[in-house]
Amino acid sequence: MANGFVSLKGDDHSKVSVDLAVDFPDRASWSQRLAKLYTCRLYADYDNWSDTAANFPLKAGAAISEAEQFIDVVRKYLKDKFKLAL
């Protein structure tokens, strides 16, 4: 793997936007897109009330689409760099 770790303390989510591999495509852009997904996840888990819906930076459909796009990019990256098929 380019960079991987396991954390049991629940602090690993914030690393996703900082620890992308150096040669990951559009790294800065994906860093912010992942940070938004992370924010969505935090609202969904901790502040998911009827009056907090406007706080979500992405609507549910857009968040799913972003996540799917990220998975596609990761698949291609791993395949191109490490010949790994997921």
Partner 1 sequence: MIPITDESRFVSEAVVAFERAIGVTGVPHGLEQVGNKVFLKFAVGRECPLYDNALFESQIALSEDNPFKGALALAAVKTRTFPGSIEANALLTLLTRSTREVSQGGSSRGYSVPYVPFQKREDHQLAQPATHIVRGRRGVGKSTLIRRATDLLADGSSVVCVLDMQGYSTESGDELTLDVMYDACAGFVREAEILSERVGLKVDVTALKQIVQNIELGALNVKRAPIIIKRALSTLTAATKGNVFLFLDDFHLIDRVSQPHLLHALNGALKGANGWLKVAGLTSLLNVYSPEHREGLQHPGDAQFISLDLTLENPEAAETHLRAILEGFLNAVGYRLTRDVIPDAAFRRLAWANAGVPRDFLQMFARSLEHATRNRHAAVTLSDVNVAIGEFGQQKMDDLQKDARNEAGLLQKVLAKLEDICLVQNRINAFLFRSDDPKEQMLMQILSDLRMVHLINQSITPRKSGERFQAYILDYSMFTGVRRRPNIQEMIPKQLQFRASELRALPKVGPDVLMSAMTETAA
Q: Which residues bind partner 1 (CB under 8 A)?
A: 13-18, 27-29, 31-32, 35-36, 38-39, 41-43, 45-47, 55, 57
Q: Is the dihedral of CA 32, 24, 45, 68 positive or negative?
A: positive
Q: Is residue 20 exposed (0-12), middle (13-18) or buried (19+ Cβ within 10 Å)?
A: buried
When the beta carbons of 31 and 77 are compared against partner 1, the nearer one is: 31
When the beta carbons of 31 and 78 are compared against partner 1, the nearer one is: 31
Shortest Cβ 85–partner 1 spacing (Å):
24
Shortest Cβ 26–partner 1 spacing (Å):
9
Answer whether 24's CB lies under 8 Å from 11's CB: no
Shortest Cβ 45–partner 1 spacing (Å):
6
Please tell me the distance from the alpha carbon of residue 39 to that of residue 58, in angstroms, as a whole number.
Answer: 9
Please tell me the distance from the alpha carbon of residue 7 to that of residue 80, in angstroms, as a whole number.
Answer: 27
When the beta carbons of 10 and 61 are compared against partner 1, the nearer one is: 10
